[in-house]
Amino acid sequence: MFPLSYLLFPVLGYLLGSLPFSIWVTRLVKGVDVRDAGSGHATTTNTIRQAGFGWGALVFVLDVAKGFVPTYLAFHTDGVSTLIVSVTAACAVIGHCWPLFANFRGGMGLATAGGSFLAVNPLAFLICLGFLILLVLVVRHSARASVFGGMLAAPILWLFNIRDAAFWVALGAGLVIAVRFLIDWNRKYRELWLDRDKPSG
C-alpha cells in the first residue's frame, strides 16, 4: 500500500522551491524587486547585476539548497520510491520557477535542479553541468542550450550508465527546465554568461 505521507515530500519540494531568495535579498539590500530590471527573472545573475557578486553567491547557494534538501530527505527516507524522489525534485524546480510566495513569477530553475542532482548523485550533477556548458558554447544562446540540456539530461546519464534515481531526477527536473526556458527562446543576448538584452540601435 502506498503511504500518503510520502506525498509530503513533493509538497515540501514545492514549498521550499517557492522561497524567493533573490527577491528577498535584493529587496533587503537595494530596496528593489529583482524582477523589475535585467532579465526580468528572479535569478542569481540578475541578483549579481543589482546587488553585487557576494549577494548573488548567497542566493545561488540558497537556490541550490532548495533543490538539495527536499530531494535528499526523500532519497534517504526508507520506503520512498524513486518516483517520489523524482517528483520531489521536479516540484522543487517548479516552485522556484512559479513560486507560491512571489505571485508565481520566479527564476529559471537551474540552480535548484543542480541541488536535486547533488542530493542523489554528485557525478550526475557534474556530467549534466559539463554537458550544459558544452551546449552553451556550441549554441551560443543560453536559453536554447538550457532547453536542449533539460530534454537531453536523462538520455545523457543513460549513456553514461547512470540509471539510478539520478536518471529519474534528471528526467523530471530536466523537463521542467526545458519548459521554463522555452519562454526565453527568442531572447537576444549581449553576453554569453549574463543574459542581458542587446541594446537597441
Q: Is the dihedral of CA 99, 100, 101, 105 positive or negative?
A: positive
Residue-wise pLDDT tens digits, 15-26: 999 999 999 999
Instruction: Write down the pTM of the prediction.
Output: 0.88
Q: What is the pLDDT of residues 112-132, one digit of tens each?
A: 999 999 999 999 999 999 999
Quote the pLDDT of residue 199. 47
DSSP string, 70-87: HHHHHHTSTT--HHHHHH
Considering only residues 65 and 183, tell me which one the structure prediction assigns the higher pLDDT: 65
| Intra-chain end-to-end CA distance of the chain, in Å | 64
Taking only the tens place, the pLDDT of each residue in 28-73 is 999 989 888 777 888 888 898 888 999 999 999 999 999 999 999 9
Query: Residues 183-195: what's their mean pLDDT?
Result: 61
Cell numbers that stand for 3 in this block: 503511504
What average pLDDT is seen over the chain? 88
Amino acid making up residue 103: N
3-state secondary structure of 41: coil
Beta carbons within 8 Å of 129's beta carbon, 6+ residues apart: 114
